[in-house]
């Protein structure tokens, strides 16, 4: 049975941490044990003698969990599925079936609490897993990514104070008006504070895009073969409605999967809209031509997607007004912002999920029906895209 996902960063953002990271060990332990993210981060840093920002070796995580009284079990390389795990709280150490990737994830009452769902990838197997002490088995409390305890607030205040001090020293060290002695003293104090609090230069950087909370969520479609119009629809949703989101696609067993990744809320909304539009277009194609996966029905669906309303349509044949020039400048800034988010999302995808995307190619299919495509485009142009619609299931079958 497949595992559902609840997005949860373990309290990382609430603790003030920013930037791209591969912190699955810290996150999964913080979620499953109910311990403040910063406390887990610091403890693992002390054990591994390095920042946990980019991951922690398994032996240090195992040692930390053993000290908390958690019991380690062999996963026997079984698939990452609900039936292969005990109920309540579990911390899983996963490996790709090929042995090339590793990930820590927490599962609570059969639901994955993580920033992405490893069960969407068929090649992840359970190498080991940990269960809590018996007296804690009935404890169902989970630290939400949006919940901050009193002790965490206190540690956050201390952390903010340290970060302000470090940034002030960094400004002094890089200020041309500072003397050489002031620069040396500032660098020495920075190094001492960073070692004491297990921080790196990356933690000092305040890039706007680094504050974005990212996620990768899968959206399956029926059948192994993806229709051209479904790919066109994914491009439409990510380019014209939720431009901060990107997608890629692959197959899992006998099903095709679209993975949307980017800012959490935008990813969730883009999937909801993608599902709703797929259902609408497939139903319309089936009513008009009896199907949507080949022939005139597929051409109609492609035309429907091509006709959907686009934002910022260009008006040709007229000179731009001052207001239009200002709007163009604003659009340029927005475009730069989107590019920065895209770059951060791809970096996150590589660091957190172990995925580096490459371009693919496809093969041609049936003869195109221009009449059906024209009718679809006409119908699509009248469609009112509602980005606040409720999530809908895919209830149709491949024709």
Strand ranges, E, within the chain: 4-7, 71-79, 89-96, 102-108, 111-114, 124-131, 214-221, 246-252, 255-263
Q: Which helix H or strand E contains 306, and what residues bound it? A: helix 295-307
Cite the DSSP H helix spans in 125-179.
150-173
- Mean pLDDT, the chain, integer: 81
Q: Residues near 305 by Cβ (< 8 Å), separated by ≥ 6? A: 229, 232, 233, 236, 281, 376, 380
Tokens for 21? 């990271």
Residue 237: count of CB within 10 angstroms of its CB:
29
- Find the range with the poorest average confidence among 115-119, 153-157, 245-249, 370-374: 153-157
- Residue 265 near residue 245 (C-beta atoms within 8 A): no
Residue 145 pLDDT greater than 60, yes or no? no
Distance, CA of 37 to CA of 309 (rounded, Å):
44
For residues 309-332, average pLDDT: 59
pLDDT in tens, 184-195: 888 888 888 877
pLDDT at site 169? 86
Pairing state of beta strands 89-96 and 4-7?
A: unpaired
pLDDT at site 390? 41
Q: Which helix H or strand E contains 331, and what residues bound it? A: helix 322-353
- Residue 274 near residue 234 (C-beta atoms within 8 A): yes
Distance, CA of 148 to CA of 155 (rounded, Å):
11
SS percent in the chain: helix, strand, coil, step 5: 50, 15, 35
More confident site: 240 or 122: 240
Residue 394 pLDDT greater than 60, yes or no? no
Provide the 3-class DSSP secondary structure of residue 141: coil
pLDDT at site 67? 94
In this prediction, residue 6 has a pLDDT band, given cuts at 50, 70 and 90, of: very high
Q: Residues near 267 by Cβ (< 8 Å), separated by ≥ 6? A: 215, 216, 217, 242, 245, 260, 261
Distance, CA of 155 to CA of 227 (rounded, Å):
51
- Residue 62 near residue 72 (C-beta atoms within 8 A): yes
The most confident of the ranges 117-131, 134-148, 380-394 is: 117-131
For residues 217-232, average pLDDT: 86
- Residue 218 near residue 178 (C-beta atoms within 8 A): no
Provide the 3-class DSSP secondary structure of residue 93: strand
Measure CA of the first residue to CA of the last residue in the chain; give whole Å: 26
Distance, CA of 26 to CA of 45 (rounded, Å):
10
What's the pTM? Answer: 0.74
- Find the range with the poorest average confidence among 35-39, 94-98, 155-159, 370-374: 155-159
pLDDT at site 278? 94
Distance, CA of 304 to CA of 383 (rounded, Å):
9
The residue whose two tokens read 């079936």 is: 97
For residues 93-121, average pLDDT: 89
pLDDT at site 29? 95
Distance, CA of 27 to CA of 23 (rounded, Å):
6
For residues 223-248, average pLDDT: 91
Phi and psi (nearest 5°) for 241? -115, -50
Residue 326 pLDDT greater than 80, yes or no? no
pLDDT at site 65? 95
Distances (CA, A) of 259 to 125, 250, 252, 280, 357: 20, 8, 12, 20, 12
Tokens for 373? 């495509």
Beta bridge partners of 92: 105, 129
pLDDT in tens, 76-88: 999 999 999 998 8
Provide the 3-class DSSP secondary structure of residue 136: helix
pLDDT in tens, 190-209: 888 877 776 767 666 654 44
pLDDT at site 180? 86
More confident site: 235 or 16: 235
């Amino acid at each position: 049975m497949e595992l559902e996902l609840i997005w949860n960063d373990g309290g990382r953002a609430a603790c003030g941490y920013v930037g791209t990271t591969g912190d699955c060990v810290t996150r999964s332990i913080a979620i499953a044990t109910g311990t403040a993210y910063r406390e887990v981060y610091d403890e693992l840093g002390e054990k591994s003698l390095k920042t946990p920002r980019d991951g922690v070796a398994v032996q240090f995580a195992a040692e930390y969990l053993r000290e908390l009284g958690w019991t380690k079990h062999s996963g026997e390389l079984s698939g990452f599925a609900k039936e292969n795990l005990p109920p309540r709280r579990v911390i899983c150490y996963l490996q790709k079936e090929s042995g090339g990737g590793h990930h820590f994830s927490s599962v609570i009452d059969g639901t994955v609490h993580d920033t992405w769902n490893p069960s969407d990838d068929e090649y992840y197997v359970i190498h080991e897993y940990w269960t809590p002490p018996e007296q804690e088995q009935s404890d169902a409390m989970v630290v939400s990514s949006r919940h901050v305890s009193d002790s965490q607030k206190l540690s956050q205040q201390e952390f903010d104070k340290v970060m302000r001090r470090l940034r002030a020293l960094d400004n002094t060290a890089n200020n041309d008006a500072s003397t050489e002695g002031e620069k040396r003293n500032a660098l020495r104090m920075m190094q001492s504070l960073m070692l004491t609090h297990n921080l790196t230069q990356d933690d000092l950087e305040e890039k706007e895009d680094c504050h974005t909370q990212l996620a990768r969520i899968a959206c399956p479609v029926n059948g192994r073969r993806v229709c051209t119009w479904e790919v066109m629809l994914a491009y439409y949703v990510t380019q014209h409605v939720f431009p901060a989101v990107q997608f890629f696609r692959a197959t899992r067993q006998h099903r095709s999967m679209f993975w949307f990744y980017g800012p959490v809320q935008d990813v969730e909304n883009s999937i909801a809209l993608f599902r709703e539009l797929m259902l609408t277009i497939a139903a319309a194609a089936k009513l008009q031509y009896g199907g949507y996966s080949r022939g005139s029905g597929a051409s109609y669906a492609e035309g429907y997607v091509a006709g959907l309303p686009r934002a910022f349509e260009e008006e040709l044949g007229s000179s731009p007004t001052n207001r239009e020039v200002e709007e163009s400048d604003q659009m340029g800034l927005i475009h730069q912002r989107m590019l920065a988010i895209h770059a951060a999302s791809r970096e996150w995808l590589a660091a957190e999920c172990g995925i580096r995307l490459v371009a693919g190619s496809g093969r041609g299919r049936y003869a195109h029906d221009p009449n059906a495509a024209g009718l679809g485009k006409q119908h699509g142009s009248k469609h009112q895209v509602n980005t606040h619609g409720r999530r809908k299931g895919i209830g149709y079958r491949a024709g």
